[in-house]
Structure 1
Amino acid sequence: RNATHQMKKLTLADLKAFRDHLRIPITDEQLEADLYRPPYYHPGMDSPEIQYLMGRRKELGGFVPERRSKHTEVTLPEDKVYEVANRGSGKQQAATTMAFVRLLKDLMRDKEFGKRIVPIIPDEARTFGMDAFFPTAKIYNPNGQNYLSVDRELVLAYKESISGQIVHAGINEAGSVAAFTAAGTSYATHGEPLIPVYVFYSMFGFQRTGDSFWAAADQMTRGFIIGATAGRTTLTGEGLQHADGHSPMLAATNPAVVTYDPAYGYEIGVIMRDGLNRMYGPGPADNDPSRNVMYYITVYNEPIVQPPAPAELDVEGIVKGIYLLAPAKIDGPRTQILASGVSVPWALEAQRILAEDWGVSADVWSVTSWTELRRDAMAAEEDAFLNPGQPARVPFVTEQLAGATGPIVAVTDYMKAVPDQIRQFLPNEFASLGADGFGFSDTRAAARRFFKNDIHSVVVRSLQMLARRGEVDAQAPAQAIEKYRLHNVNAGTTGNAGGDS
């Protein structure tokens, strides 16, 4: 029988036979003294064997990988680089994917910092609007471009170069994560920080290569992971293969991954700036473990009007996970709507309908990271557990919503377990609306009506919770279901049909 996996220790006879076979000069007495702690043998740096090994390693360029505790200082981008994220899209519509790409383009143009960015795109560069990078940044190929591309007549033609900045490993997520890891650890292996920015269809990230991201974390990789065409209902025209409703939950299992689901371009700007500062900004030592993080940012392909950054922007709220986006505009029975990513515009429309049709006063909160809110709250609980008798720290989410009265409706384009991460840390009655299941291949409006996470579902759920409290008419929920035809999948109106797939 094959007992390899069952043999955890060598017997004394086996150990002596092993010694004899390798001709190791250790005596029987030394082995018999302690079977489980045999002496370590090194032939000495001057021995022919060690000299040979050291010589070969020198010819190969030294020890690789070799971690360095110091690296070249990084000059981070100035404030003006982030202006493109803060000014919004004016009257034009732009998906958060495009808002991200515009910011990335300006970051790459920065004279001091731009050269350190390594875009990694396994597929769909044109879908993401990143073909504009081809003529200037070019795709890296150590042998240059040795063929004529089929799109060579286009202004934004595919171009490879020995000085290219973009890594394109083909439609190969495993190879792309390997490139991400190599670039993201260069600060330690070569003393030269690079910022990998890996962009992919969100379903093809943690779903396919979660183990590789875990290995990247184990190697203390730093960089940005961009899950594009995110959400379970925003890209439904190509079947269920792209219906990502769970990547934030998968990402939450990796302690080195900081997950965000931003709604607007200005939120992306704040998040990316925070990530760069955390990795390479002033603060802890270069090799401090707190710097070894990977920011997972989900972006969508559904175009909306991107608003400019508010004058009094709650930067801390965006970074830590939640801020008040739109306070209620009327007095009435009170409710709170918490939304993330593409569902934030739905929450704002639900706020309007609740006020105009039902006289309900709703605050809308943008939740940029359910996971970071939970991690902060869990850390507060742990601190209170280990320090009895000391004043307990209040979790950030609890602190932000202190005084926010009424039931909470949390809505997301991911499964309900994503917002449920913070349920236990809020005293309010709490309901989650999300997209559980494999997906629904139809229009965005129909898919959202099917999953009951659309605008009118937020309205009805709010009315149900208020009716139970006796704060609105008991018949209001049923009347709203009939009024908005909530049971009719084809009656959904949430979202639009724009955006590349």
Structure 2
Amino acid sequence: MTTLAPIQRLRLLRELERKVLWLSAWTIHHANHIRPNRDGLKVGGHQASCASLATVMSALYFSVLRPEDRVAVKPHASPVFHAIQYLFGHQTREKLERFRALGGAQSYPSRTKDVDDVDFSTGSVGLGVAMTLFSSIVQDYVRLKNLGDGKRPTGRMVALVGDAELDEGNIFEALLEGWKHDVRNLWWVIDYNRQSLDGVVNDRLFGRVAEMFELVGWRVVTLKYGKLLETAFTQPDGAHLRDWIDACPNSLYSALVFKGGAGWREALTRDLNQYPGIRRILEQHDDASLHRLMTNLAGNDMQAVVDAFENVTDDTPTCFIAYTIKGQGLPFAGHKDNHSGLMTLDQMAGFKKGMGIADGEEWDKFAGLTSAPADLQAFLDAAPFNAEGRRRTEAPIIALPAQLTKPNDRKSSTQEGFGKILNAIASEDGELARHIVTTSPDVTVSTNLGAWVNRRGLFGHTEAEDVFRELKVVSAQLWRQTPKGQHVELGIAENNLFIQLAALGLSHQLFGARLLPIGTLYDPFIARGLDALNYACYQDSRFMLVATPSGVTLAPEGGAHQSIHTPLIGIGQPGLVSYEPAYVDELAVLMRHGFEYMQQPDGGSVYLRLSTRSLAQPERTLTPAQQADIVSGGYWYAPPEEGSDVAIVAMGAVTPEAIAAHESVARDFAGAGLLVLTSPDRLHTDWLAAQRNRGRTAGMVDRSASPIERLLAPLSRDARIVTVMDGHPLALSWLGSVRGQRVVPLGIEKFGQSGDIPDLYRAYGLDTAAIIDAVARAV
């Protein structure tokens, strides 16, 4: 790249920018107008949103980005990204021809479903933006601890942001967290095309954006006027032209962009005709050149964009506000309805002709360009971004002990047991401890992470002693901040927690260092960050989510802090396997399994739903078979006799009530069983998989029974099953479908309220009497 003269580099960049614009528009057009449409649905795509970012993305990928940089692409600019990767040779024509079809390039960039080099999946607007901020924190975490190979250069985390995305509150939650953590090496490039899905972005609102970034310590670089306009401003009365554009409302500017040269001439003559210099500018330009001048915004001017990016060389977080035209270069540029608009066949024919593309050359890499193909290919091959080929890194598996040290308390809650298990890991200071990183949204102590933090410290760029400790004020918590710390303390924002977990859980592929992240929060507040949790799982990020306390068992706290439907979230969320252990020895088994599962190629993340209710712990030593059952999802606490007609199925904190009910029921129904489940999610998944396998005709398919089928096999076909859990009963009521047995499900279907456990269990039908009554009703 350095061997090219600046003017030659600029010429090649502009040529490739032109090709990227064509390929992105053609990919969408092909999907909507050429490829057969079997169901009649509009395929969609965003030609206008792509056009506004063609310049910025071409400058970044072909000239500015390095292999260590990581990018979150604006969701609606996905075709631009695919076009760039196609030119690099990382995307195929077949995938582009099947854009938004099964097996084709995805509608929005996807780490797991696209073949090209996607750093961060995007789609739910705003989340990919915040992901770059939290990834920057992770990069510093890895660097300051010398994890990985230690030789990887520090990269820039780059987000390409639609201006309407700034309406998303999670972006500003992330900005505040970034300020607290002194975030660095972060670029956000705002595509300020002044249009959203339904209209034009409010002028007054966006006028405060730069101030908000500066308030949290960012550098703001505004790319407003391109080189043509800057030259015009130096002419006599040019300052009046600048003032007119500065004062022009977004809605008027967008409308004039759509109207073209004649519209510009009419407006400027009406408002500025009293200035001789303006009259002269109008006389010097025909309608086409006047339109080109008045739409020469810096975000669509290659020289201005490259200059802006190359002038930032330090690690200060930087917001680039790039003024662009939505639909720049397309026939509906500027129209307020162009967000999901598609070029008609006639419009595409005119656009194609203007691009110099002959029939049959639509997918040719360099068709319509004036530079020699060899020069263009050499330029692509020399792009710094491509210096190392594929950029996804790897990291070795972290070895685990044969079993985790389990506390031996006679009575304990699973939440308390979690804290003690983690504290034991910390005290042993092995490989496992060194690769665990915890994070929590201001509930560190109340979710029992305090002992871990006391031993491993808070993470921060600089050393900061605990002021209470320095002043000799007695406190159980040692809040000492250090670059060696292993807990990332967050503010009360669950979106931030889940995006931080997403970034931590991809460290092995982003930064070459494997981390084992654990995030804690109150179980009911999973719902507050559910979009971000789904986003984290969609990335195939790997983390352990410890949600505690849970259910109406959190009795005095009342309905605002009691969770009901979270077990259904655990079952329904792809990429996340959920467990709810009743006892601490089960939790120890599941935590070890979770650390292993998080590292498996076909693994995923783990959700542990824990309780603050202290239970008498069983006096037992779990055999390998029992541990395997706990991981698989359940075990017989009291095995039924063969052909038994009654069984109670319990999960989590209400297990003591189920045990007491079983003791009573067994006196009337000899041989009744008590089944304790640790994961209806795992059981349901394996049951469906077994059903699908049995439905196949291939002779070599595994036809063995699933774990839940084996567990229920001793019961008679007419058996009655009573299920009980501190959560929505639907999470267990599916058990009746396994063998056609009748289920009477007990659980929580209404908002909780304050009370003590005996009162609430009685009020909501979870106590021993309710279980016994359900058995009686079932038979």
TM-score calculated relative to the size of structure 2? 0.51
Q: Which runs of 5+ in 1 are unaligned?
A: 21-25, 282-287, 467-501
1: CA distance between counterparts of 2:734 and 2:468?
48
Q: How does 1:308-327 map to 2 (within 5 A)?
A: 308-312=619-623, 314-327=626-639
Quick check: 1:349–1:455 contact (8 Å CA) kept in 2?
yes
Q: Which residue of 2 is the match for residue 473 of structure 1? A: none
2: CA distance between counterparts of 1:310 and 1:176?
36
Moved more, 105-114 or 337-346: 105-114
User: How far is 1:336 from its partner?
Assistant: 0.7
For the structure 1 residues 375 and 331, does the alpha-carbon distance in structure 2 shift closer, same or farther, using more than 3 Å as the test?
A: closer
Q: How does 1:172-251 map to 2 (within 5 A)?
A: 172-205=493-526, 207-231=527-551, 233-251=552-570
1:400 maps onto 2:705 in alignment:
no
User: How far is 1:46 from its partner?
Assistant: 6.5
Q: Which runs of 5+ in 2 are unaligned?
A: 1-334
Q: What is the one-letter code of the residue matched to 1:454?
A: D
**Which of residues 564, 573, 579 is equivalent to 1:260?**
579
Q: Which residue of 2 is the match for residue 446 of structure 1? A: 759
Quick check: 1:377–1:395 contact (8 Å CA) kept in 2?
yes
1:162 maps onto 2:472 in alignment:
no
For the structure 1 residues 147 and 105, does the alpha-carbon distance in structure 2 shift closer, same or farther, using more than 3 Å as the test?
A: closer
Deviation track 1:147-205 (CA, whole Å, cap 9, x = no partner) reads: 83599531423222222100111112111112111111111112211001111101111
Q: What is the one-letter code of the residue matched to 1:323?
A: Y
User: How far is 1:453 from its partner?
Assistant: 1.9
Determine which structure has the larger helix proportion and give its number: 2
For the structure 1 residues 160 and 343, does the alpha-carbon distance in structure 2 shift closer, same or farther, using more than 3 Å as the test?
A: same
2: CA distance between counterparts of 1:38 and 1:67?
27
Quick check: 1:261–1:340 contact (8 Å CA) kept in 2?
yes
1:39 maps onto 2:364 in alignment:
yes
Q: Which residue of 2 is the match for residue 375 of structure 1? A: 685
2: CA distance between counterparts of 1:401 and 1:52?
61
- What secondary structure sits across from 1:103 in the alignment? helix
Quick check: 1:334–1:360 contact (8 Å CA) kept in 2?
no
2: CA distance between counterparts of 1:305 and 1:118?
30
2: CA distance between counterparts of 1:444 and 1:19?
75
Q: What is the one-letter code of the residue matched to 2:613?
A: E
TM-score calculated relative to the size of structure 1? 0.78
Q: Which residue of 2 is the match for residue 107 of structure 1? A: 425
Quick check: 1:370–1:422 contact (8 Å CA) kept in 2?
no
Q: Which protein has greater RCO, CA pairs closer than 8 Å, 6+ apart? A: 1
- What secondary structure sits across from 1:398 in the alignment? helix
2: CA distance between counterparts of 1:18 and 1:441?
68
- What secondary structure sits across from 1:220 in the alignment? coil
Q: Which residue of 2 is the match for residue 307 of structure 1? A: 618
Q: What is the one-letter code of the residue matched to 1:156?
A: Q
Q: What is the one-letter code of the residue matched to 1:67?
A: R
1: CA distance between counterparts of 2:628 and 2:768?
28
For the structure 1 residues 316 and 51, does the alpha-carbon distance in structure 2 shift closer, same or farther, using more than 3 Å as the test?
A: closer
Quick check: 2:499–2:533 contact (8 Å CA) kept in 1?
no
1: CA distance between counterparts of 2:605 and 2:599?
12
For the structure 1 residues 117 and 65, does the alpha-carbon distance in structure 2 shift closer, same or farther, using more than 3 Å as the test?
A: farther
For the structure 1 residues 324 and 158, does the alpha-carbon distance in structure 2 shift closer, same or farther, using more than 3 Å as the test?
A: same
1:335 maps onto 2:646 in alignment:
yes
Deviation track 1:345-369 (CA, whole Å, cap 9, x = no partner) reads: 111111123345x565532111111
1: CA distance between counterparts of 2:375 and 2:593?
50
Q: Which residue of 1 is the match for residue 330 of structure 2? A: none
| Cα-Cα RMSD | 3.3
For the structure 1 residues 309 and 83, does the alpha-carbon distance in structure 2 shift closer, same or farther, using more than 3 Å as the test?
A: farther
- What secondary structure sits across from 2:730 in the alignment? coil
1:298 maps onto 2:609 in alignment:
yes
Identity fraction in percent: 21
1:137 maps onto 2:433 in alignment:
no
Quick check: 1:89–1:307 contact (8 Å CA) kept in 2?
no
For the structure 1 residues 64 and 446, does the alpha-carbon distance in structure 2 shift closer, same or farther, using more than 3 Å as the test?
A: farther
For the structure 1 residues 51 and 144, does the alpha-carbon distance in structure 2 shift closer, same or farther, using more than 3 Å as the test?
A: farther
2: CA distance between counterparts of 1:63 and 1:458?
63
User: How far is 1:385 from its partner?
Assistant: 2.4
2: CA distance between counterparts of 1:438 and 1:464?
25
* Count of residues paired in the alignment: 434
1:94 maps onto 2:416 in alignment:
no
User: How far is 1:126 from its partner?
Assistant: 2.0
1:414 maps onto 2:727 in alignment:
yes
For the structure 1 residues 127 and 391, does the alpha-carbon distance in structure 2 shift closer, same or farther, using more than 3 Å as the test?
A: closer
1: CA distance between counterparts of 2:405 and 2:702?
41
2: CA distance between counterparts of 1:164 and 1:462?
52
User: How far is 1:128 from its partner?
Assistant: 2.5
1: CA distance between counterparts of 2:608 and 2:616?
20
User: How far is 1:33 from its partner?
Assistant: 3.8
Q: How does 1:340-379 map to 2 (within 5 A)?
A: 340-355=651-666, 358=668, 361-379=671-689
Quick check: 1:434–1:451 contact (8 Å CA) kept in 2?
yes
